[in-house]
Each structure stands twice: as structure tokens, then as C-alpha cells.
Structure 1
Amino acid sequence: MKREDLRKAGGSALLALAMALAGGAAIWASNELATEVRQSHAQAQSGRDAAQRALSAARAEEAEIAAKIDRFRHLVERGAVGPEQRLAWVELIRDARARHGLGAVDYEFSPQRPLDPALAPADTGQLEATSSALRIRMPLLHEGQLVALLDDLVRHASALVRVRECTLSRAATAAPGGEQLNADCLLDWITFRPRSGGPA
């Protein structure tokens, strides 16, 4: 082979090598670019996910605050926030007794005391729950009278009324009004007041 042919062959080999290197570099650059694009996309997606989580958390907190405000407004409207209104409770019992045609009703409120935390409504915030137990006994013509009375008290009392226990027994002798059942119930009348040391 002549020297001129060798030079041409060498030039072709160098050109082929250069093209191969250029092709490899292009592939490497393409892979690097694809990796950067994927990373950028992942970062953008992560940012969007974080923003969505923050928005969802803010909306959940807003809904929780709104629910607490509604609950507090409901308690205030019922008269369940502040001092006990025992005179109003007594009048409610008397009115309910007359409305449902009950005979003699014997009732007694116990002194007010803090409500057992296990029984207190959730999310009372800076309000402390207190309770006065009501023992109420009455003769009945039928069970429906008791159900109606308790429903009346639960719906209209300026407190949250919780029926703790209730027993029915048959009277040994009929009462003057013909009642043959006796009811003996214990109810918690729950009210709320600001916690000591809590914000005004």
C-alpha cells in the first residue's frame, strides 16, 4: 500500500473515531438532559403535592374552626354557657309535666360539679363542662309518657341533658290517677363555663 493510501486510510479512521466520539457524546448529553428533565418534573410534582397538602390542611383546619364556632353558638343559644338556670329548669319540668298529663313528679337536683372528662363532649376548647344530676321519680299510665317527658327536657332545656339511667317498675297499687307504673331516672344537666386561667 502506498504512503498516500495510508494517509487516506488513517484520515478515514480518525474521522470515523471522531464521529463515534461525537455520537457517544450526543447520547450522553441526551441521557443527561433526560435525567435533568425527569428530576425537574419530579421536583415540580413534589412541589405541587406539598402545596396541595398544605391547602387541604388549611381547608380542614378552617372547617374545624367553623364547626367549633357553630357548636359554641349553639350552646350559647340554648343558654348552656354561663351560670346554671335552675329556675328555668324547674319551670320546664313543671310545664312538661302538665303538657304530658303526668301526676305527681318528685325531683331533686344535686350540687353542681365538674363533669367526668370521659363523659364531656369533645372539642369544648376553653370551656369547662359542669354537671348537676337530677333524680326524678313519677307515676306513669304508660311508657310513652316517660319518653315524651325526656324528649321534652332534652330538646328544650338550657343545658345539655344526658339520660344516665332510667328504670321502670310496676306499682304495688294503682296511684290516684290510675297509674300502674313507676319511673325512676337520673339525668345529667350539663352546662359550660370558661376554664380557670383560660383566655377571655
Structure 2
Amino acid sequence: MQPGSGQPANKNAQGRFFMPGDFPLIRMAILVFGASLLLSMTLVGASRAIMSRQQNALIQAQAQHSAALDKLRQVEADNQAIQNYQGKYLQLFERGFIGEERRLEWIENIKAIQKNRKLFPITYEIAAQQVFQVAPEVSTGDLELHGSEMKLKMDLLHEGDLLNFLDDLTSAGLYTVQECILKRSDTLAETPISPRLAAECTLYWLTLGELTSNQEQTPP
């Protein structure tokens, strides 16, 4: 029965199915949907690519910023180190420790000390410069430690003459005493100011200079 009519339902009346002939009716909708889907996928891909490039650019910018900060900190640390050590560096340079050795100044200072202290004649010999090895934990950068051996012979009135001489000699540069041998003079003291002792000393004048490759190295 059909509702409200009192008539039985038509057995041939069935639901509407999609037929091939109906395709033209929805063709435009399908094309629009496909185009919209393709456009959406393209936009999503482009958005992801843009975001990826932006993230990479951000990471690169952060890395550059971090590197710039590191360089700035290093420059500040270097400037602070220069301020801390500049005075000491200038002192060592003025004393002849940094740079080329100053043999002429050594000789002139020996003569001046002898004259001022009224010492007996002093003889000396200076050997060729050598490279001194330093402990591995001591960093000298592009420089290396050099040493020149000097042998001294001098007559003394007393031990104090030798001590005063070595003390005054520090004004000529930095050196280290290898050994000093004192012995009584072979000649008898004829007057109160005649020499009573004789000294033979070996010392090394030290300088910090540029790297060399053809100089003899001393053992550590």
C-alpha cells in the first residue's frame, strides 16, 4: 500500500542507480574536484618546500650567528691576553730575549762591567747558536728557544767579584749558568790587590726566535 492512498505499492518502483548516461551530468564536478585536489596537493608540496627552505635558512643563520659570536669571544680573549702580557713581552724584548741574539751587546756589557767593577781582564769565547728542546707541554707557537754557549775566564780578588759580575750581566739579557769552577790562583799574591782566585764559567745566552732547520739541537 502507498501511504495515504490506500493503493498497493508499485513493485516496479525501485531506487535510482547511476547509469553511464548520467556521467555528463557530473563530469564538470569531477573535473573541478580533480583540479582542486591537484591544486591542493601542489600548494601543500610548495608550502612544505618553502617551510623546509626557511628552516634551513634559519639553521644556517643560527650557525652563522653562533660562529660570529665565537669569533667575537676569541677576539675579546686575544685582546685581553695582549693587554695582560704586552708589558711582560716588551720587557723581554728590551732585555734581548725575544728576537735575534745581540752578541755585540753582550761583549760591550762585559767590558762595561769589568771597567765599572774594576775587575781583572776577562776572556770569553762564544760558540755557534743552538736550538734548545723544551718540554712538550710548553707551547712556543712559531718560535723556538735558542742558546749560545759562552765560556768565561777571569781572575778574582775574592768570590764576590764573580757574584757581582754575574748579577750585573743580567742587564745584557737572559742566560743560564751551566757551571762555574773556582780555584786558587797559580801565582802568589804580590800585593793586596793581586788576584787570589781564578774562575772558569760556562753559560748559555737564551733567546726566543724564529724556527730554524739547519742548527744543531741540544738534548732535552
Secondary structure at 2:128 match in 1? coil
Provide the rounded CA distance (Å) in 2 between the counterparts of 1:161 and 1:170.
26
Out of 154, 161, 171, the residue aligned to residue 185 of structure 2 is: 171
Structure 2 unaligned segments of length 5 or more: list them.
Answer: 1-73, 214-220
CA contact (8 A) 2:96 2:174 kept: no
1:40-59 map, 5 Å: none
- Does structure 1 residue 147 correspond to structure 2 residue 163? yes
- Alpha-carbon displacement from aligned partner over 1:39-97 (angstroms, at most 9, x marks no partner): xxxxxxxxxxxxxxxxxxx9x99876655444422221223222221111100000011
In the alignment, which residue of structure 1 is the partner of 2:92? 75
Return closer, same or farther for 1:126/1:175 CA change in 2, 3 Å cut-off.
Answer: farther
Provide the rounded CA distance (Å) in 1 between the counterparts of 2:134 and 2:92.
18
Q: CA RMSD in A?
A: 2.9
In the alignment, which residue of structure 2 is the partner of 1:95? 112
- Alpha-carbon displacement from aligned partner over 1:109-163 (angstroms, at most 9, x marks no partner): 0111112325x9x554332111101100100001111000000112x11x31111
| Superposed displacement of residue 187, structure 1 | 0.9
Provide the rounded CA distance (Å) in 2 between the counterparts of 1:130 and 1:162.
12
Structure 1 unaligned segments of length 5 or more: list them.
Answer: 1-57
Pick the structure with more helix per residue: 1
Provide the rounded CA distance (Å) in 2 between the counterparts of 1:161 and 1:110.
14
Q: Which amino acid aligns with 1:133?
A: E
Return closer, same or farther for 1:187/1:90 CA change in 2, 3 Å cut-off.
Answer: same
Q: Normalised by the size of structure 2, how large is the TM-score?
A: 0.53
Return closer, same or farther for 1:94/1:196 CA change in 2, 3 Å cut-off.
Answer: closer
CA contact (8 A) 1:126 1:195 kept: yes
Provide the rounded CA distance (Å) in 2 between the counterparts of 1:181 and 1:196.
41
State the identity %: 36
Aligned length: 136
Provide the rounded CA distance (Å) in 2 between the counterparts of 1:175 and 1:89.
31
In the alignment, which residue of structure 1 is the partner of 2:211? 195
Q: Which amino acid aligns with 1:132?
A: S
Provide the rounded CA distance (Å) in 1 between the counterparts of 2:134 and 2:102.
22
In the alignment, which residue of structure 1 is the partner of 2:52? none
Out of 133, 136, 149, the residue aligned to residue 152 of structure 2 is: 136
Name the larger-Rg structure.
2
